[in-house]
Amino acid sequence: MLTPKYIDNNDALNELCISYANAPFLAIDTEFVRERTYYAALGLIQVYDGKTLALIDPLVIDDLSPFWQLMVAPHIVKVLHAGSEDFEVFKHYGDVIPSPLFDSQVAASLVGLGASLGYAKLVEEFCEISLDKGESRTNWLARPLSDSQLIYAANDVYYLHQLYPVLKQRLIDADKVEICQQECQRLANKSNAKNALDKYLDISNAWQLEGQQLAILKALAAWRQYEAIKRNLAQGFVIKDGELFLIAKFMPTSNNALRTIEALHPMLIKRHGKKILSLVEQTIATKTMPEKLTRLVDYAAYKKTFKAIKSIVEEIATNVDIPKEMIASKKLIHEVLSFYWKGQHERSNVCPVLMSGWRGELLGDKIKTLLNV
């Protein structure tokens, strides 16, 4: 493997990006740390065009705009592997959604190599190389980076560059290029930032609450989301789901009432007690209550309908030679059922994933017939 070029200043980055400007495709990866923070802490960016393999240090470069411009250059295909977390990094730090895209994990799944195939397995399959993953849990924010860390990081784009033309040809042979392009862009465009006022829907036991309890949970979950973003702290380190649920359930209006909830840590009450009580009191006073939540499993037709959709997915998967796991997860089936059974189709023009794009073409009519919509 060629020696990577370490980019640690603005001028070097600018020169690098000029040299990449005419590349037909770039292999790209990022290294980051995400333990307690809301946003991933970006530690390194790796890029390879087949000539220059660069390791870009975002900790010392104060202007990454030349790189972000490459990410949206329409004539350069951005090649990543399992890029969902990379897309979050690009959105947060560069406010960009890369396009056009090629995700080698998506491509591998479409050409019959297995759903969610790891990068090391893919490299072993095509390049007959066993990668050393010993640095996978390294601290990418520490400096200086060791030689083994730099080699590990470089490998992530060196072989990825070799995989792209092979996988692309397989997609062409299988007539699945368009499906791959759609799926890669969908994953990049997918927003993980749910409206703060809807965050209470993510709390598993929310369906057990009613009236003011649910209104309190909604207010508390929205506050936690704002607090997590403001402090760049993972939501569970602000306050845990279970603690939110108990506060909403018991609706405390005093410090003493808060302290009677045994599961609440004293430090939580000391740090956020005043704000929590304020939100509880304000919510009770407004008397605005969300509709009670209904679980899909409580619908009489749930088991039968879920099984029927799974059967449709399995039949289609066999016919088009695409893994059923890629076509429809349990979450995507639930999304369709919620959309029609809970009246979301009357309030929203955003179609469920299973009813749009290439999935909609394969499944849409069959699912609509099944659901009688």
Residue 258 has pLDDT above 80, yes or no: yes
The model carries a pTM of 0.92
Distance CA 337, CA 368 (A): 11
Distance CA 77, CA 161 (A): 11
Burial class of residue 252, CB neighbours in 10 A (0-12, 13-18, 19+): buried
Residue 136 has pLDDT above 80, yes or no: no
- Label residue 345 by pLDDT band (50, 70, 90): low
Nearest to 248 by CA among 298, 205, 288: 205
- pLDDT score, position 137: 76
Tens digit of each residue's pLDDT (9 = 90 or more) over 56-88: 999 999 999 999 999 999 999 999 999 999 999
Structural domain boundaries of the chain?
5-189, 196-286, 296-371
Same fold, 5-189 and 296-371: no
Active site residue 200: no
Active-site entry in 31, 103, 135, 241: 31
- And the tokens for 102? 């090629």
Q: Minimum mean pLDDT among 22-26, 84-88, 135-139, 302-306: which range?
A: 135-139
User: Architecture of 5-189 per CATH?
Assistant: 2-Layer Sandwich (3.30)
What phi, psi does 107 have (nearest 5°)?
A: -60, -45
User: Architecture of 296-371 per CATH?
Assistant: Orthogonal Bundle (1.10)
Instruction: Calculate the dihedral angle through the C-alpha atoms of 29, 9, 67, 123, rounding to the nearest 10 degrees.
Output: -20
Q: Are 59 and 39 in contact (CB under 8 A)?
A: no
Residue 244 has pLDDT above 70, yes or no: yes
Active site residue 365: no
Gyration radius of the chain's alpha carbons? 24
Q: Are 45 and 32 in contact (CB under 8 A)?
A: no
| Alpha helices (H) in 117-206, listed in sequence order | 119-127, 147-174, 177-189
Active-site entry in 86, 135, 183, 243: 86
Active site residue 29: yes
| 267 Cβ contact partners less than 8 Å away, ≥ 6 residues apart | none
Distance CA 253, CA 257 (A): 7
DSSP 8-state assignment for residue 128: -
Q: Which is it for the CA torsion 73, 77, 78, 83, positive or negative?
A: positive
Distance CA 342, CA 333 (A): 14
Residue 194 has pLDDT above 70, yes or no: no
Give the HSE-up count for residue 130: Cα atoms under 13 Å, Cβ half-sphere.
1
Distance CA 28, CA 83 (A): 9
User: Architecture of 196-286 per CATH?
Assistant: Orthogonal Bundle (1.10)
- Label residue 108 by pLDDT band (50, 70, 90): very high
Residue 283 has pLDDT above 70, yes or no: yes
Please report, for residues 57, 67, 343, the alpha-carbon distance to residue 62 in angstroms, rounded to integers and kept in the order given.
Answer: 10, 12, 48
Question: Per-residue pLDDT averaged across 342-366, rounded?
Answer: 88
Q: Are 259 and 231 in contact (CB under 8 A)?
A: no
Strand pairing class (101-103; 41-48): unpaired
Q: Minimum mean pLDDT among 108-117, 142-151, 328-337, 346-355: which range?
A: 346-355
Residue 350 has pLDDT above 90, yes or no: no
Active-site entry in 156, 183, 241, 243: 156
Three-state secondary structure of 303-361: HHHHHHHHHHHHHHHHHHCCCHHHHCCHHHHHHHHHHHHCCHHHHCCCCCHHHCHHHHH
What 3-state class would DSSP assign to 273?
helix
Instruction: Calculate the dihedral angle through the C-alpha atoms of 165, 168, 174, 180, rounding to the nearest 10 degrees.
Output: 170
- pLDDT score, position 219: 97
Active site residue 8: no
Distance CA 34, CA 4 (A): 25
DSSP 8-state assignment for residue 77: E
Q: What does the mean pLDDT of the chain come to? A: 94
Cis peptide before 58 (omega within 30 of 0): no
For the chain, how far is it from start to end, CA to CA, in angstroms? 57
Active site residue 241: no
Q: Are 78 and 25 in contact (CB under 8 A)?
A: yes
Q: Minimum mean pLDDT among 7-16, 45-54, 347-356: which range?
A: 347-356
Tens digit of each residue's pLDDT (9 = 90 or more) over 198-234: 999 999 999 999 999 999 999 999 999 999 999 999 9
Active-site entry in 20, 38, 93, 152: 152
